[in-house]
């Protein structure tokens, strides 16, 4: 054992130092082939502050048993402690610096980086190895392990297959078989294990996995034999292991605020998820019902059951469950799936409303836009459906369902060539998508390109042999081409698969279909064939009209006024649905109608004048909400000549002036915007929303006093409206009046207790008032409800850094980086935490990324200042606290004992930290 200086954690009793040498001596006395013993020894090391020794012990445990999950978790926790892995990493860096072609050292560094949980670094290092040598079996295997841990079984399978083909050892084949088993491909997994056992008949883990597979396939006797053989080869598989976990030894007062018990009270729920992922829905439902009976988390289990109801077509049961869930918490996923339940039942209008409520929570949720597009198409609103589906495809290019739906919509409404171009691009990037090939064939057949259509249908059947609709369509095309025998053959095969043809329609989706792509099929909606449903009760025309109300009238208005009114009403409907691009087009159409054919009679002229103003104001409003306020300047100037003191015109004109114009005088425009807002402030305005909008315009031109006046007037008009209170609280917090800001936030939360913006602003207030513990409790509660709220996670990271809870801050920062690797705040805090670990070189690299990011804003300025201070401290040879760095990144100092060098290193880190962290808790409002 090397003589490392020990760092005793705060709160350790003084007598603990006497146990250190005894603990170190235990390493040679335990069973050298027992991974559990080394794991438990590592936990004891960690509890006494011997973090480097703990890492050594956990690595030894994993070397003996690479699949020991307890040791892997413990290693990740121990590795976050200061100095725990520095010596190992520095030694590897020195080897690589001495010989940059030493691939074994590079592989070892990537392996260690993966084990200690620094997955982004490990991915970069492994990708570099694979780029140099695509047949590097060890690197390919390590890459697969990362994807398997992340839960992406498809990508893990591809990496393991490449590793096996490159000649990887038996572990790669075992992991490949495990992934195949997890994806439900039991036959392939069993065949792979049989080959592995032919070569390594004493591989206990392979026998154990084979037992699971055989049991899953119903061969229970063979499964028992395989399990017994595994236990014979490795008796530890049958014994109860008492492996310790670091989480159970966290000192009092230092509990992790984001800790999850890996063996917690969700065992039945987890088993149900495993069944569901493989498509065993009946078994999954049984496990979920047992989970409810055993008192597991009711919200999680009820949601899982609701999704199974959707897949089973039980729309009434699903709707009831979602409505119960939504009374306690509103999430975008639950509202979207509530809409699907309504859609299944045929209540399309209510379904569309649920999809819109989902989009109000998350305006970038592509799946909800897709489902809204399907509902709008079902109601006959083709243009709105097209815009919604286009937006879904733009927000998430990987959402194939939205692109297929958009292509169908285009083809059904006379835009076959546009649909054809979209489908050709789709099958180029997704050549295994049978439904895309089927739709492509349908479009080609409609264009009478029968040979191309035949090829497309054949492709669809190659990808999914049970695709009945593709076989029916192929039969029709073959008949047109004169191949009557082929047509008869395909028809017979199609009838054997599906005796009744289903009417083609657009497809909705739920998140579960993306989580379990191999297990979950389509979510069926109401299907009509010849006026009657395929299953269930018969529906007459009146019932169908009741299900799909407000159909678009086929009779066009005759007069110019009627046509303009219809265009304005259509535009208003789009604006209410926040589809402002479509609204602008309709408002423009209404104005063009009135401009091209003026009406001369005085009464009609008065109607036209009011109608023109309605269209002009609506267009200007929609342009402002699209952040195109400058483009509405000319229109607003025309309106101002007619209604110079109209409050809405004044507010929109101020927004247009504040937005600036190409080649305009920014200072003059800002002054004009301020003057216009002052005129508005003197008007009698009854709309709280309009006053709040004016306050936002004042904030845009950086007039906070004027903004505060508008927000207070908006609050006076509607005291129960929470949005002005938060805007006022934010301004008061910036001015340092924290007590008044707190009162405003409390009032907002009284009106809307679960409102996210109010809770986050209250957390900022606690943070600025020097109450980080209160901010932390509030943010943890927010993240317990919505774990992917990145703004809350960013705030929590800053609070934890302020509290010097480095372990918890590291968890928060890593989560931020996992969800958004380019987030400037996450990289800034990553650098701060690295400084605390005396890893200045890595911290400087993080801050350099922030400083070079043109969108980083205040974080970029902070990073540049911190880099300058850190470099000054590092490079100043006269500083007594400075420890230099050589070319390999190793620290060096005067020839003093090792403990003195370590103390100097830590002193340098703390000195640098004191300087570079002074802005760490400053957040961007």
Q: Is the pLDDT of residue 187 over 70?
A: yes
- Report, as an integer, the average pLDDT of 807-826: 84
Distance of alpha carbon 513 from alpha carbon 51, whole angstroms: 43
Distance of alpha carbon 260 from alpha carbon 514, whole angstroms: 25
Q: Is the pLDDT of residue 291 over 50?
A: yes
Top-confidence range, 60-74, 229-243, 791-805: 791-805
How confident is the model at residue 372, as a pLDDT?
A: 92
| Region of residue 261 (phi > 0: left; psi between -120 and 50: alpha; otherwise: beta) | beta
Contacts (Cβ under 8 Å, ≥6 apart) of 57: 27, 38, 39, 41, 42, 45
- Report, as an integer, the average pLDDT of 119-142: 82
| Region of residue 627 (phi > 0: left; psi between -120 and 50: alpha; otherwise: beta) | left
Percent with pLDDT over 70 in the chain: 77
Q: Is the pLDDT of residue 600 over 70?
A: no
Residue at token pair 């000549």: 641
Top-confidence range, 7-21, 253-267, 520-534: 520-534
Q: Which of these, 78, 453, 395, lies nearest to 244 by C-alpha position? A: 78
| Predicted TM-score (pTM) of this structure | 0.39
Between 59-73, 206-220, 259-273, 857-871, the lowest mean confidence (pLDDT) is in 259-273
How confident is the model at residue 907, as a pLDDT?
A: 45
Between 263-277, 301-315, 325-339, 672-686, the lowest mean confidence (pLDDT) is in 263-277
How confident is the model at residue 550, as a pLDDT?
A: 44
Length of the chain: 925
Residues 93 and 84: beta-carbon distance below 8 Å: no
- Per-residue pLDDT band at 338 (split at 50, 70, 90): very high
- Per-residue pLDDT band at 355 (split at 50, 70, 90): very high
Distance of alpha carbon 722 from alpha carbon 699, whole angstroms: 18
- Per-residue pLDDT band at 500 (split at 50, 70, 90): low
- Per-residue pLDDT band at 25 (split at 50, 70, 90): low
Q: Is the pLDDT of residue 216 over 50?
A: yes
Q: Is the pLDDT of residue 333 over 50?
A: yes
Per-residue exposure over 820-845, b if at least 16 CB sit within 10 Å of its own CB, e if not: eeebbbbbbbbbbbbbbbbbbebbbe
- DSSP secondary structure code for residue 885 in this structure: E
Tokens of 871: 């470099």
How confident is the model at residue 778, as a pLDDT?
A: 86
Between 124-128, 242-246, 262-266, 824-828, the lowest mean confidence (pLDDT) is in 262-266
> 3-class DSSP state for residue 468?
helix
How confident is the model at residue 240, as a pLDDT?
A: 38
- Average pLDDT of every residue of the chain: 75
* Residue 42, burial from CB neighbour count under 10 angstroms (0-12, 13-18, 19+): buried
Top-confidence range, 219-233, 659-673, 898-912: 219-233
How confident is the model at residue 601, as a pLDDT?
A: 52
Q: What is the distance, to the nearest Å, from the Cα of residue 70 to the centroid of all Cα atoms in its chain? A: 27
Q: Is the pLDDT of residue 263 over 50?
A: no
- Report, as an integer, the average pLDDT of 740-766: 82
Q: Is the pLDDT of residue 596 over 50?
A: yes
Considering only CA atoms, give the Rg of the chain: 33
Report which secondary-structure segment, H or E, holds 528.
strand 528-529
Q: Helices 35-47 & 17-26, crossing angle to 10 degrees?
A: 170
More confident residue, 256 or 38: 38
More confident residue, 132 or 241: 132
How confident is the model at residue 321, as a pLDDT?
A: 92
Q: Is the pLDDT of residue 297 over 70?
A: yes
How confident is the model at residue 458, as a pLDDT?
A: 92
How confident is the model at residue 883, as a pLDDT?
A: 31
Between 589-593, 845-849, 895-899, the lowest mean confidence (pLDDT) is in 895-899
Residues 160 and 144: beta-carbon distance below 8 Å: yes
Q: Is the pLDDT of residue 28 over 80?
A: no
Distance of alpha carbon 257 from alpha carbon 809, whole angstroms: 10
Q: Is the pLDDT of residue 905 over 50?
A: no
How confident is the model at residue 339, as a pLDDT?
A: 93
Q: Is the pLDDT of residue 555 over 50?
A: no
DSSP string, 18-44: HHHHHHHHHTTTS-TT-HHHHHHHHHH
Reported as half-sphere exposure (CB side, CA atoms, 13 A), residue 98 has a value of 9
- Report, as an integer, the average pLDDT of 854-869: 84
- Per-residue pLDDT band at 335 (split at 50, 70, 90): very high
């Amino acid at each position: 054992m090397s003589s490392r200086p020990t760092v005793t954690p705060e709160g350790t009793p003084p007598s603990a130092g006497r146990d250190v040498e005894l603990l170190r001596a235990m390493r040679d006395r335990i069973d050298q082939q027992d991974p559990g013993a080394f794991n438990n020894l590592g936990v004891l090391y960690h509890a006494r502050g011997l973090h480097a020794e703990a890492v050594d012990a956990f690595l030894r445990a994993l070397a003996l048993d690479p699949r020991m999950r307890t040791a892997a978790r413990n290693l990740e926790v121990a590795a976050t402690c200061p100095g725990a892995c520095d010596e190992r990493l520095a030694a590897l860096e020195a080897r690589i610096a001495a010989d940059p072609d030493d691939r074994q050292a590079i592989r070892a560094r990537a392996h260690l980086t993966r084990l200690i949980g620094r997955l982004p670094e490990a991915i970069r290092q492994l990708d570099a190895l694979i780029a140099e040598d695509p047949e590097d079996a060890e690197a390919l295997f390590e890459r697969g392990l990362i994807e398997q841990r992340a839960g992406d079984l498809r990508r893990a399978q591809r990496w393991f297959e490449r590793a096996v083909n490159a000649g990887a050892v038996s572990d790669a084949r075992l992991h490949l078989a495990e992934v195949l088993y997890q994806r439900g491909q039991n036959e392939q997994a069993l065949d792979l294990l049989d080959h592995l056992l032919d070569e390594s008949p004493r591989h206990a883990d392979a026998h154990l996995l084979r037992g699971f597979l055989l049991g899953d396939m119903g061969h229970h006797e063979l499964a028992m034999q395989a399990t017994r053989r595994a236990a014979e080869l490795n008796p530890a598989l049958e014994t109860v292991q008492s492996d310790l976990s670091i989480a159970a030894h966290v000192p009092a007062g230092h509990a992790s605020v984001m800790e999850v018990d890996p063996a917690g009270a969700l065992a039945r729920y987890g088993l149900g998820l495993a069944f569901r992922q493989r498509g065993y829905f009946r078994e999954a439902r049984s496990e979920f019902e047992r989970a409810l009976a055993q008192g597991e988390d009711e919200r999680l289990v009820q949601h899982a059951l609701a999704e199974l109801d959707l897949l089973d077509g039980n729309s009434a049961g699903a709707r009831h469950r979602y409505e119960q869930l939504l009374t306690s918490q509103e999430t975008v996923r639950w509202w979207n799936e509530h809409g699907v339940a309504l859609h299944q039942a045929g209540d399309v209008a209510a379904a569309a409303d649920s999809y819109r409520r989902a989009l109000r929570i998350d305006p970038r949720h592509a799946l909800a836009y897709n489902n809204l597009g399907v509902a709008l198409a079902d109601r006959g609103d083709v243009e709105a459906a097209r815009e919604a589906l286009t937006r879904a495809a733009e927000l998430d290019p990987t959402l194939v369902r939205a692109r297929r739906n958009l292509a169908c919509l285009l083809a059904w409404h006379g835009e076959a060539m546009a649909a054809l171009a979209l489908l050709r691009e789709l099958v180029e990037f997704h050549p295994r998508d049978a439904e895309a090939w089927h739709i492509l064939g349908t479009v080609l057949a409609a264009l009478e390109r029968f040979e191309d259509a035949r090829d497309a249908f054949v492709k669809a059947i190659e990808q999914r042999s049970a695709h009945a609709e593709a076989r029916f369509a192929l039969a029709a095309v073959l008949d047109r081409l004169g191949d009557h025998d082929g047509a008869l053959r395909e028809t017979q095969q199609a009838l054997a698969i599906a005796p009744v043809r289903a009417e083609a329609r657009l497809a909705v989706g739920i998140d579960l279909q993306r989580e379990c792509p191999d297990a979950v099929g389509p979510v069926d909606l109401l299907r009509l064939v010849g006026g009657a449903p395929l299953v269930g009760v018969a529906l007459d025309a009146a019932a169908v009209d009741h299900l799909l109300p407000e159909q678009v009238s086929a009779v066009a208005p005759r007069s110019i006024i009627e046509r303009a009114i219809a265009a304005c009403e259509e535009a208003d409907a789009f604006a209410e649905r926040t589809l402002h691009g479509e609204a602008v087009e309709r408002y423009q159409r209404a104005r063009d109608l009135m401009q091209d054919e003026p009406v001369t009679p005085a009464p009609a002229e008065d109607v036209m004048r009011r109608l023109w103003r309605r269209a002009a104001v609506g267009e200007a409003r929609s342009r402002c909400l699209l952040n195109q306020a400058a483009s509405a300047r000319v229109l607003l100037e025309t309106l101002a000549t007619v209604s110079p003191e109209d409050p809405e015109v004044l507010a929109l004109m101020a927004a247009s002036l504040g937005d600036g114009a190409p080649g305009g005088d920014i200072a003059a425009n800002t002054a004009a915007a301020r003057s216009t807002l002052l005129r508005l402030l003197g008007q009698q305005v009854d709309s709280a929303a309009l006053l709040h909008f004016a306050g936002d315009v004042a904030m845009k031109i950086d007039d906070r006093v004027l903004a505060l006046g508008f927000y207070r007037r908006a609050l006076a008009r509607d005291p129960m409206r929470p949005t002005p209170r938060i805007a006022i609280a934010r301004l008061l917090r910036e001015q340092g009046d924290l007590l008044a800001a707190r009162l405003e936030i409390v009032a907002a939360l009284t009106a809307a207790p679960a409102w996210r913006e109010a809770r986050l602003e209250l957390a900022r207030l606690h943070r600025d008032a020097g109450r980080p513990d209160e901010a932390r409790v509030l943010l943890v509660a927010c993240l317990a409800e919505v774990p992917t709220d990145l703004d809350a996670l960013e705030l929590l990271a800053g609070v934890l850094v302020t509290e010097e809870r480095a372990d918890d801050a590291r968890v928060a920062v890593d989560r931020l980086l996992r969800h958004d690797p380019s987030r400037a705040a996450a990289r800034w805090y990553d650098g701060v935490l690295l400084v605390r670990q005396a890893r200045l070189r890595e911290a400087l690299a993080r801050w350099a990324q922030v400083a070079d990011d043109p969108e980083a804003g205040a974080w970029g300025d902070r990073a540049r200042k911190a880099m300058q201070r850190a470099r000054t401290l590092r490079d100043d040879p006269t500083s007594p606290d400075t420890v230099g760095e050589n070319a390999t990144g190793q620290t060096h100092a005067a020839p003093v004992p090792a403990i003195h060098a370590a103390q100097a290193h830590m002193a340098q880190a703390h000195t640098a930290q004191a300087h570079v962290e002074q802005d760490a808790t400053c957040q961007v409002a």
